[in-house]
A and B are shown apart, each in its own frame.
Chain A
Amino acid sequence: MARTLAHPASTGNHLRLGAFVAAGALLAGCSTIGTGSDDDGASEDGATTGEGGGTVVLVTHDSFALSEDVIADFESSSGLTLETQAPGDGGALVNQLILTKDSPLGDVVFGIDTTFASRAIEEGVLDPYTSPNAGPDVEALAVDDEGYLSAVDVGDVCLNIDHEWFAEEGLEEPTSLTDLTDPAYVDLVVTTNPATSSPGLAFLLATVAEFGEDGWEQYWADLSANGLKVVSGWSDAYYVDFSGPSSEGDRPIALSYASSPPYEVGEGAEEAPTGAMLDTCFRQVEYAGVLAGAANPEGAQQVIDWLLSPEVQADIPENMYVYPADSSIELPESWERFAPLPEDPYTLDPAVITENREAWIQAWTDTVIG
């Protein structure tokens, strides 16, 4: 009784379906299925060649970028093929290295930051290596004495301020962390959640560095009472709530980086519309290290030498929006003018951070979110 779908498809359908399948097959011809060979079996290759040849696998975050010719120079001078893997950011990156330490994802890692540095060392995911290219700046930024990690770049997290907004309101700009709890600046600040955002965690650490382990919670209570807004991530704070030129929010102070202001300067403009509040910055360093159990340890060491070389150090600012660790490198002109690196940023010992990270985030959550 039931009428079924058992009608033979008409010829038209067959033709159309056929055309579609053919188109799919054509596309599949240029799909990744056929191109596995050029990047297959990466780490094994390195092991078989050993002396300088083969492939070296760099595990990093997805913000890793350098100029094409800089990478090409490295490959031609070392005879290595550089392959990159980006399994995550910040904490995710380090935690993945820990989970895979018995069979590492690659030979060398770049992108471990201050807040997770000592965790990576403690968990034994790294082998020590001190590069001949490590100058005094790199030494000064070292996490430990054995040289498990080499500092590659510095990306300070700072509150950014909308100069135009304050000029229009005729309000004097706040400069310090303490200023922000002044009722004159009620409802002006947006920051990010340290549990979900790495600049958020850095800013929490800045307040710990300033007010001490006994005082920082009170500071956040005061900041909350003064109308602080907290959002989950950087894009959210910067592009929705911040009042700067590329967003349309209503808060003139937002958590971002020391390097952000130049990107808000219009072409030919003499003045930057925004600036970093240099007394609110936390020094965030990104490190590189040889992975324990690397298939190509020599190649890994060459990558670290290369990352610390003047060529790469000079290429870093405009590609990764952070400052080279080597302070003798000349910065791009717009950075010199609009993005000075803070001279005396807040810092904390990475070992102390690792020990307290979870407890501090928990305490922060209780204080600010309740």
Chain B
Amino acid sequence: MWGLAAAVPLAFLGLFFALPVGSLVLRGFVADGGLDLGGFAEVFGRPRTWRIIGLTLAQATVGTAIAVLVGIPGAYLLYRCQFRGRAALRAFVIVPFVLPTVVVGVAFRSVLAPSGPLGFLDWDGTFAAVVAALVFFNYAVVVRTVGGFWAHLDPRAEQAARSLGAPPWRAFLTVTLPALTPAIASAASIVFLFCATAFGVVLVLGGTGYGTVETEIWVQTTQFLDLRAAAVLSVVQLVVVAVALGTAGRARARRERALQLGRPERVAHRRLALRGPERSAGDLLAVGVTAVVVVVLLALPLVTVLVRSFRTPTGWGLGNYVNLGTTGGSNALSVTVWEAGLNSLRIAVDATVMAVVVGGLVALVVSRRPRGRGTRRAVRALDAVFMLPLGVSAVTVGFGFLIALDRPLGLDVDLRTHPLLIPVAQAVVATPLVVRTVLPVLRAIDSRLHEAAAVLGASPGRVLRLVDWPIAARSLGLAVGLAFAVSLGEFGATSFLARPDRPTLPVVIFRLIGRPGAENLGMALAASVLLALVTASVMALTERLRAGAAGEF
């Protein structure tokens, strides 16, 4: 039975990820019918290659480090403390995660350009601007992953340390922080993958001299069709990703199981103590850091988008929102924005169903702790393999689909043009997030419960239904929300599969912002606000559904 549970997700990943990516990379290494690895020497011989590898690593490392550093106080505040407006703030921080990069790029640059409000920083087209945007996108990943875990952490250990005389900072550093390590490692690995493969923001904000492995793969594949160079760079990307995943996996494994988790309603949430005798320096610091991040980094670009969405050619007003029911200034679009929104929702439903089924199965299999050493290793490998789609270029996947999915494996369907391919591509990206959400919850189940149930005569199916399901179901709401959000915002792979008569919301936003005229720009921004609102609502809804999940993400 476990074999089958592993086989379904593996078949899915194999057909829709490994086969396309493998085919494209292989094509780069095959010349005149033989294997040709000369590309390695050639690509590594260029000084530019080393520069972009260095820049990619620097960008991902710095971006991840800052996102984690500012995300931990945010996680504390949003998941460990009680204050008014907490639910709204939780929904708000996820919005950047789904906004189309082209809109964020324009919003960031409007703020950072010499004529913008932060023009004095002189950050336009710099490394700092790229890192700021990466933190903008990934802040929510850290806050949710670490926060979701922290909300369940038994506070008694820290309280004990305090009553034994440890100052708060010491209790935090020696007790709480080590306990949070698995969640922090998990968040850092996801953020690292997102940062290492960022494309749109790097192009827009990094300026022209800036190049990363991802942008280089894009240029070599789409502009020069130099598959040899692209294949070498894809291998480089895979190596970087594998090392990052391995490191994070070890950090996670070391701390797992030694945790005491409680249901959040039983874990006392503290009221913020910013004034009076209870005043805590730690709380002040957390509030300070979070306020700066939320106001300057998150809100400033978002408010820029919001404010400009109300500016029409004839003054301020709702004109751009009224126009969402049209096809744009002189038909920039083939459908109205509302229709595109509906397409997005339908596709997101399909993608979510697939991601939750596949991701749920993976999490279930990986949560088992088989006795055999080899099986245990296989289970760990399964976990890592499903993270890979986050770390591989969307161009490689998109082009790979085209060469690999024409009647694949003897099936008599041309999957390349099948309408289901868009939700499938999005589900491949959403699956790792589902796994990271559901897995820690399943892992926290005491295996003695399984054994006890089995000893008492329950069949394996019954054990699953009565032991695992009730617990895992609690994290399902959050997993559904995340998968939905990923699907709504996905642009990379979707843009290679889009059908002009059935575009998604990010695709029409991209098209509108690629047309001249205040009307089209206004509509693009209004549509972005719509996308943000839909996402925030879905997240707020699933937040209510989670009812006590200890998700890593």
Chain A residues within 8 Å of B, Cβ to Cβ: 2-10, 12-13, 16-17, 20, 24, 27-28, 30-33, 35-36, 39-44, 57, 60, 62-65, 67, 84-88, 91-92, 95-96, 98-100, 103, 105-106, 193, 195-196, 230-236, 238-241, 245-250, 256-257, 259-260, 263-264, 266-267, 318-319, 321, 358, 361, 368-370
Q: Which residue of chain A is the closest to B115 with respect to CB atoms?
A: A250
Q: Nearest chain B CB to A277's CB is how many angstroms away?
A: 15
List the 4 shortest-distance A-B pairs measured between CB atoms, nearest first: A263-B517, A246-B518, A92-B222, A260-B516
Q: Which of B117-156 contact A (CB under 8 A)?
A: 125, 154
Partner of B219, one of A4, A86, A195: A195
Residues in B with CB closer than 8 Å to A7 are 263, 471
- Complex Cα–Cα for A28 and B347 (A): 9
Asked whether A239 and B106 contact (CB < 8 A) given A5-B550, A63-B511, A92-B222, the answer is yes
Are the CB atoms of A32 and B350 closer together than 8 Å?
yes
Q: Nearest chain A CB to B549's CB is how many angstroms away?
A: 9
User: What are 18 A-B contacts defined by CB distance under 8 Å?
Assistant: A3-B262, A4-B446, A5-B471, A8-B470, A9-B473, A16-B544, A17-B545, A27-B346, A32-B422, A88-B496, A95-B221, A95-B399, A100-B402, A236-B109, A263-B515, A263-B520, A321-B515, A358-B224
| Residue-wise interface mask of B (513-532) relative to A, using a CB-CB cutoff of 8 A (1 in contact, 0 not) | 11111111100000000000
| Residue-wise interface mask of B (309-345) relative to A, using a CB-CB cutoff of 8 A (1 in contact, 0 not) | 0000110000000000000011111100000000001
Residues in B with CB closer than 8 Å to A318 are 330-331
Asked whether A65 and B331 contact (CB < 8 A) given A17-B473, A33-B420, the answer is yes
Are the CB atoms of A88 and B495 closer together than 8 Å?
yes
- Complex Cα–Cα for A2 and B106 (A): 50
Are the CB atoms of A233 and B208 closer together than 8 Å?
no
Asked whether A63 and B514 contact (CB < 8 A) given A105-B402, A239-B521, A249-B115, the answer is yes
Inter-chain CB contacts under 8 Å: number: 245
Q: Say whether B353 faces chain A, with CB atoms less than 8 Å apart.
A: yes
- Complex Cα–Cα for A264 and B515 (A): 11
Q: Which residue of chain A is the closest to B226 with respect to CB atoms?
A: A358
Asked whether A235 and B102 contact (CB < 8 A) given A33-B420, A256-B516, the answer is yes
Are the CB atoms of A6 and B445 closer together than 8 Å?
yes
Residues in A with CB closer than 8 Å to B517 are 246, 260, 263-264
Q: Say whether B295 faces chain A, with CB atoms less than 8 Å apart.
A: no
Residues in B with CB closer than 8 Å to A36 are 418-420
Residues in B with CB closer than 8 Å to A100 are 402-403, 406, 416
Residues in A with CB closer than 8 Å to B445 are 4-6
Are the CB atoms of A5 and B441 closer together than 8 Å?
yes
Are the CB atoms of A241 and B500 closer together than 8 Å?
no
Q: Which of B341-389 contact A (CB under 8 A)?
A: 345-347, 349-350, 352-353
Residues in A with CB closer than 8 Å to B115 are 248-250
- Complex Cα–Cα for A239 and B458 (A): 65
- Complex Cα–Cα for A267 and B218 (A): 41
Q: Say whether B188 faces chain A, with CB atoms less than 8 Å apart.
A: no
Are the CB atoms of A257 and B516 closer together than 8 Å?
yes
Asked whether A27 and B349 contact (CB < 8 A) given A92-B222, A369-B208, the answer is yes
Residues in A with CB closer than 8 Å to B515 are 263, 321
Are the CB atoms of B471 and A236 closer together than 8 Å?
no
Binding-face segment, B74-82, B178-186, B474-482: B474-482
How many chain B residues sit at the interface, stated as a range, is: 35 or more
Q: Which residue of chain B is the closest to A249 with respect to CB atoms?
A: B115
Asked whether A321 and B110 contact (CB < 8 A) given A20-B545, A62-B511, the answer is no
- Complex Cα–Cα for A193 and B496 (A): 22
Residues in A with CB closer than 8 Å to B498 are 62, 86-87
Q: Say whether B507 faces chain A, with CB atoms less than 8 Å apart.
A: yes
Residues in A with CB closer than 8 Å to B203 are 196, 232-233
Q: Which residue of chain B is the closest to A91 with respect to CB atoms?
A: B223
Asked whether A32 and B423 contact (CB < 8 A) given A86-B500, A87-B497, A241-B113, the answer is yes
Residues in B with CB closer than 8 Å to A62 are 495, 498, 500, 503, 507, 510-511
Are the CB atoms of B222 and A13 closer together than 8 Å?
no
Residues in A with CB closer than 8 Å to B449 are 4, 6
Residues in B with CB closer than 8 Å to A96 are 399, 402, 496
Residues in B with CB closer than 8 Å to A230 are 207-208
Are the CB atoms of B403 and A99 closer together than 8 Å?
yes
Q: Which residue of chain A is the closest to B517 with respect to CB atoms?
A: A263
Partner of A6, one of B413, B471, B496, B519: B471
- Complex Cα–Cα for A305 and B471 (A): 62
Q: Say whether B414 faces chain A, with CB atoms less than 8 Å apart.
A: yes
Q: Say whether B165 faces chain A, with CB atoms less than 8 Å apart.
A: no
Residues in A with CB closer than 8 Å to B507 are 62
Are the CB atoms of B261 and A6 closer together than 8 Å?
no
